[in-house]
Amino acid sequence: PGSDARAGEAGMPTVIAHRGASAYAPENTLPAIDKAAKLGFTWVENDVQRTKDGELVVLHDDSLQRTTNVEDVFPGRAPWKVRDFTAAEIARLDAGSWYSPAYAGARVPTLKQYMSRVERNHEKLLLEIKNPELYPGIEQQTLKLLGNEGWLDGKHLRRLVVQSFSADSVRTVHELKPAVTTAYLGKPSVAKLRGFARFADLVNPSIGSLTRGYVSTVHTFHGPHGRPLGVFAWTVDDAATARKAAGYGVDGVITNKPDVVRAALAAD
Ligand code: G3P
Ligand code: CA
């Protein structure tokens, strides 16, 4: 088992569209992953949280305020936390107009809707379990949904990585479904890498915290599937930083501007 997240073209790091192609369409919406597909990218990243009535939805912030019109639709409901709204309420919100009038009417997708669009687009998914401490049991629930949608069979497993800033959450995912490729978001100390390698296939640090030496050291460990631990760096949005990341030897870069990163890496 294990995803093909590291099967970049001709040694080029895998390019992953962060929250979809989010420089060009509203983040974490279906148009954002359609845009990534149109630009020719197969990997997209998202953020998964849970509504008041237990539906998994795709949204980055723990509040609906920044990326929807929730203040207009539900003015008395500050601070507009995802967990305080039902799925039906969230479905009424416009998640596109804040970005551009051209995207008016885009919705906050449920994870189920999102997975079927990823499937339709023939995309691959770096799924982030966001704020898991707010949503007890979200790991099991996410895996159940992925299983129901056919994403835990052999073929689809290669198109999936589950990540979190919470080591506990990543460990839980690994223990519940050992075949799933997992990533820890952060930069464990070298002394702790052996422990992380028991349940994470990748460690994904911010680009600002990375060095070539750290990437090389990570690659000397082997993850739960017996392959060298991988490294995806985030968030890389300009050519110079993309070349720096490639020079460090990262396996993937997570970017809001996948076209810019691809052009920079192709020119190397
Ligand atoms: O995938 C890496 C990146 O998404 C982590 O940061 O805040 O954008 O979820 P954030
Ligand atoms: Ca994320």
pLDDT in tens, 140-175: 999 999 999 999 998 999 999 999 999 999 999 999
- C-alpha span between 233 and 185 (Å, rounded): 9
The CATH number linked to 57 is 3.20.20.190
Q: Ligand 1, atom 10: nearest CA belongs to which residue? A: 60
| Residue 169: inside a domain | yes
Other CB atoms within 10 Å distance of the CB of residue 160: 21
- Convert 8-24 to b/e letters by CB count within 10 Å (16 or more is b): beeeebbbbbbbbbbbb
Examine residue 79 and say whether the peptide bond preceding it is cis (omega within 30 degrees of 0): yes
131 compared with 154, residue with greater pLDDT:
131
Q: Does residue 73 fall inside a structural domain?
A: no
Residue of 127, 170, 254, 257 to test ligand 1 pocket, by largest number of atoms within 8 Å of CB:
254
Domain assignment present for 22: yes
Residues 230 and 66: their CA atoms lie apart, in Å, by: 33
* Ligand 2 mean position, distance from CA 128 (Å): 6
CA–CA distance, 18 with 108 (Å, rounded to integer): 16
Residue 236 has pLDDT above 90, yes or no: yes
Residue list, ligand 1 pocket, CB within 6 Å: 18, 45, 47, 60, 128, 185, 234, 254
Report if residue 88 sits inside a domain.
no
Look at the alpha carbons of 157, 112, 47, 192 in this order and tell me if their dihedral is positive or negative: negative
**ipTM exceeds 0.95:** yes
Q: Band the pLDDT of 10: cuts 50, 70, 90.
A: low
Residue at 79 is within a domain: no
Compare 1 and 78 and report the one with higher pLDDT.
78
- Domain assignment present for 83: no
Confidence (pTM): 0.96
If one counts the domains in the chain, the total is 1
Q: Is residue 190 part of a domain?
A: yes
Those residues with Cβ within 8 angstroms of residue 35's Cβ, 6 or more apart along the chain or in another chain: 17, 20, 21, 24, 25
Overall residue count recorded for the chain in this entry: 268
State residue 5's pLDDT score: 65
Average pLDDT, the chain: 96
State which ligand 1 atom lies nearest to the alpha carbon of 234: 2
Print the domain residue range for 202.
9-62+110-266
Give me the pLDDT at residue 103, please. 98
Confidence bin at 212 (pLDDT 50/70/90): very high
- pLDDT on residue 11: 75
Q: Which residue has tokens 């479904």? A: 177
pLDDT tens-digit series, residues 12-68: 999 999 999 999 999 999 999 999 999 999 999 999 999 999 999 999 999 999 999
Active-site residue (options: 60, 122, 174, 222): 60
Q: What are phi and psi of 216, to 5 degrees?
A: -60, -40
| Ligand 1: centre distance to CA 215 (Å) | 19
Residue 144 lies inside a defined structural domain of this protein: yes
Given a cut of 80, whether residue 268 has pLDDT beyond it is: no
pLDDT computed for residue 1 by the predictor: 43
pLDDT tier at 2, thresholds 50, 70, 90: low
